[in-house]
Structure 1
Amino acid sequence: MSNISEKVTNTANSYIGGAKQTIGETIGNTNLAASGAQQKAQADAATKAATAKAHTEGLGHKAQGEVQQNVGSLTGNTSMEARGHANEARGDIQLVVETFLGSPLGIGQLRLSNTYNSAMGGAKQTIGETIGNTNLAASGAQQKAQADAAQKAADAKTHSEGVGHKVQGEVQQNVGSLTGNTSMEARGHANEARGDLERKV
């Protein structure tokens, strides 16, 4: 499983576990609440481990690439130098993607958080209306409305940032290509990929 797929799975399991825990506590089902708490804790621990691993790998590939470039340049080994540029670009891309998706405010995390809050708000509203608890119903409706509004705002912001990163990446690629700066060109590819990802998520 790729790091991105693993992160999405872990985040989904964390929210599902949290939902089960909340529902279990609300209806007094201790087994459901305990099962949800355990699922959330395991998913959060797995996300932490995956994030640390991806960050370390990204730094490692970047450092390895820089060494290969320097050695290749000093010895006239263009093949090694090219491999160095490829490894540096790989490390840059790993770090960009990790920053984009791995941070607490990463877009994938934010979307899941808003979706979770919207679903939980809707559930609380329905339960409140069903049992005649107007405070719970109102609280749920407010939680759902806020999550839906936050997602709309995040979508607009992400699209705008994606366009910016894509343009920045294209400029870096062109300047890098014209000046023979392969490192800048590689960063341009990474930024363009980041922009494409931001516009699609």
Structure 2
Amino acid sequence: MSLNSRISQHVSPSSSHPMLSLRFFCSVLFSFPLDLPLFVLLVVEIVDRYDSECVPGAFRGNKVSFIKDSSLPKNCSRILKVRKHMKAPIYIYYQLDNYYQNHRRYVKSRSDQQLLHGLKSSNTGSCEPEESNNGLPVVPCGLIAWSLFNDTYTLIRGTKKLSINRKNIAWKSDRDRKFGKQVYPHNFQNGTLIGGGKLDPNIPVCIDSLLLVISLLFP
């Protein structure tokens, strides 16, 4: 199966050249005379360096000024093609290289108690500077949630758009133990500086698989 992948990617200045990697996985089942099944994993990896292509020519010598100019759009679309035939189900692994979110202040900027109890929890001191906004608490608070991954991608075969199932990408045990079923986003991304993706205030945090995965990366 041939796929075209269209990725909208926010551009960030980096001297170490940001790279986008897409990996497609599918399992092929073979059956032998002894009825012993054997699974073979087919992997297709596509790597795309976008730090030059996603910056207008006039700014390629000064990418920081491009990022700081709020009057210029920062979205960038890349079209990548998978040149091998793959059978469903296909699993996609999306990876960004040369982005480092391991600063001590960043990884501690969260509240496990708030993710579990919502507005009932006042244990949010570690979430600064994203603890509150306009005098109201932010749920989920902290820099980890604030910088929620907001890239988008679409898979197309020929002219047909393929559906992508993003459900249940986090372990059920983590969803049940670490995220409250009655905890809803509140006052999230309402400040003057937007860090990443937005959350639907009508959907509990335990349902948003992407938020769960991002939060669990920094336990």
Structure 2 length-normalised TM? 0.23
Structure with higher RCO (Cα < 8 A, 6+ apart): 2
Return the index of the structure with the highest Cα Rg: 1
- For normalisation by structure 1, the TM-score amounts to 0.24
